[in-house]
Structure 1
Amino acid sequence: MTALCSRPAQLPGGRQLGLVPFPPPPPPPRTPLLWLLLLLLLAAVAPASGWESGDLELFDLVEEVQLNFYQFLGVQQDASSADIRKAYRKLSLTLHPDKNKDENAETQFRQV
């Protein structure tokens, strides 16, 4: 596509032609757009840089627990979700600090 010039072309001898087509101007540089894209990519990648030391402590806590959750609730590993829910409710009622008068009742209830 060509754009038209706004002035007539001059020929030798003073003659003028009509409007002469000129090539379109080059597109504006995309440097600011590229910098913005790079900044957005860095902002998205920075939070996903990996595990922090506080996150790794969770794995240490899980390794310290010798009991899996099925054993803790007293159900089989192939138990249905309804059975697991029922066992959880039963255990939470027996360990609740209002029902359990043991001095470690609050700690036991938090483990559930």
Structure 2
Amino acid sequence: MTAAGTWHTEARQPAEHLGLPAVRAHVRSFRGTSAAFQGRLEEARALHEAAVDARTGLGQEPEALFGLFQPTLVQSRLGDHLAEQTGRSALAMTEAHGDRWGQAQVLWMLAQAAPEIR
């Protein structure tokens, strides 16, 4: 996990230098996943939510949709009632894009989160 953190830092620097907001969003998302695996859930939530906001702001709905899976999972692990709302937002995006595989994944995520957020 230490190596992953180093790689994320190294990837962020050129993305910021070159002004590549989409790459910065991906790096934030990967750093959030790394933080979640290390048990730093509050940090993971903040990184994932920032990545989703950045992708949405760039008009990258499919990428934002993928990013909504991660905060839903982290929010549910924290017992945050926003997990259901986040998951429902992801579900609405999958339906709008006709993404049946994504719908299945979001429904699975909501089912996994249900016991922790109710």
Pair in the same fold by TM > 0.5: no
TM-score grouping bracket, smaller chain normalisation: under 0.3
TM-score scaled by structure 2? 0.24
User: Larger % of helix: which?
Assistant: 2
- Bigger radius of gyration: 1
